[in-house]
Amino acid sequence: MATMTIAKALNNGLRAAMERDPKVIVMGEDVGKLGGVYRVTDGLQKDFGEQRVLDTPLAESGIIGTAVGLAIRGFRPVCEIQFDGFVFPGFDQIVSQLAKLHYRSQGKVKVPVVVRIPFGGGIGAVEHHSESPESYFAHAAGLKVVACSNPSDAYWMIQQAIAADDPVIFFEPKRRYWEKGEVDPDADPPPLFASRVVRPGRTLTVAAYGPMVKTCLDAATAAEADGHDLEVIDLRTLSPLDLDPVLESVRRTGHLVVVSEAPSESSIASEIAARVQQEAFYSLEAPVLRVTGFDTPYPPSKCEEDYLPDLDRVLDAVDRSLGW
């Protein structure tokens, strides 16, 4: 058992995957000599060489396109998109090529590519550096989409994503990179495409993913003062969505609040609300409520605290749900 940050856990997970399989290649802008802007790939080029840790040009379309070709030739590329808003120049390659090659070839061609994307706000960055684009990719058939929220999941999920034969979009909560937690390299990890209850409770269910999981855990602690016992579920997988733990919880609590940084319209939160109301309607004692970013472009950094869901907004939704 070791204590490490999410960034270090990702680094150790990448290292373990590279040691296990010489076909694993890391590529992206500044991932080599610099070790990535968040130092997630720190030391990998020194230890594995420039042939396996490649500093690429500033060209996301080229990064993804090259990774597709490498995957067809038997490699397992791990692409880093330096910031979430930079992924869009490579969007066509991801949704038109990476997502469809396995289907287009009737299963003959596998493209085991992982696209790592630091996502979300809260770091005081400039435009294009604080996006939450997960809904775009969850909508694209042929892609798997996951989001880690803690060091243990970061360590295991990146290895599981690399080992998967499907392309995986791997979202990392950038403002949580330096938060610490326990990692047990000898443990049996949970399945990659599975949600998990991270705090049991009986009064109300809260579902979240990525950076919002910690916010919801803090809200659950604060809600104890009002006698509310919140159950918090870390979704972990966004496509495919694993809603079984959410449905099981809602059938006990009768209440659900879904929390996400992304805008509310046509979102992961929207899909969860629709599915739960479809499949557990008679268990609900109140409508499913969503606490999300606003349906606007991400604001200047001085305004982001007003944009991002926080503990008070989550607790307000809890009170509204329980007061229905």
The angle subtended at Cα 150 by Cα 52 and Cα 28, nearest 5°, is 25
Contact by Cβ (8 Å): 272, 175? no
Place of tokens 């016992």: 229
Mean pLDDT, rounded, for 187-191: 94
Q: pTM of the entire structure?
A: 0.97
List phi, psi (to 5°) of 134.
-65, -35
pLDDT at residue 45, as a whole number:
98
* Cross-strand pairs, 54: 27
Beta-carbon neighbour count of residue 199 at 10 Å? 16
Q: What CA dihedral angle connects 62, 68, 74 and 77, to 10 degrees?
A: 60
pLDDT-derived band at 324 (thresholds 50, 70, 90) equals: very high
In one letter, which amino acid is 288?
A: V
What sign for the dihedral angle of Cα 173, 165, 184, 189?
Answer: positive
3-class state of residue 170 by DSSP: strand
The overall average pLDDT reported for the chain is: 97
Phi, psi of 103, deg, nearest 5: -70, -45
Terminal CA-to-CA distance of the chain, rounded, Å? 44
Instruction: Give catalytic status of residue 129 as yes or no.
Output: yes
Amino acid (1-letter code) at residue 274: A
pLDDT of residue 19: 98
The pLDDT score that the predictor gives to residue 257 is 98
pLDDT, tens digit, 9 for 90 and up, residues 219-229:
999 999 999 99
Under DSSP, is residue 53 helix (H, G, I), strand (E, B) or coil?
Answer: strand
How distant, in Å, are the alpha carbons of 79, 104, 123, 145, 175 from that of 127? Answer: 22, 36, 12, 24, 16
| pLDDT exceeds cutoff 90 at 206 | yes
Mean of the pLDDT values across residues 125-131?
Answer: 94
Interval 261-310: pLDDT, tens: 999 999 999 999 999 999 999 999 999 999 999 999 999 999 999 999 99
- 54, 68, 133: which is closest to 99 by C-alpha? 68
> In this predicted structure, what is the pLDDT of residue 73?
96
What is the phi-psi region of residue 210: left when phi exceeds 0, alpha when psi lies from -120 to 50, beta otherwise?
A: left
1 has a pLDDT exceeding 90: no
Which one from 102, 129, 228, 255 is the annotated catalytic residue?
129
Query: CA-CA distance, 248 to 100, in Å (whole number)?
Result: 33
pLDDT tens sequence across 58-98: 999 999 999 999 999 999 999 999 999 999 999 999 999 99
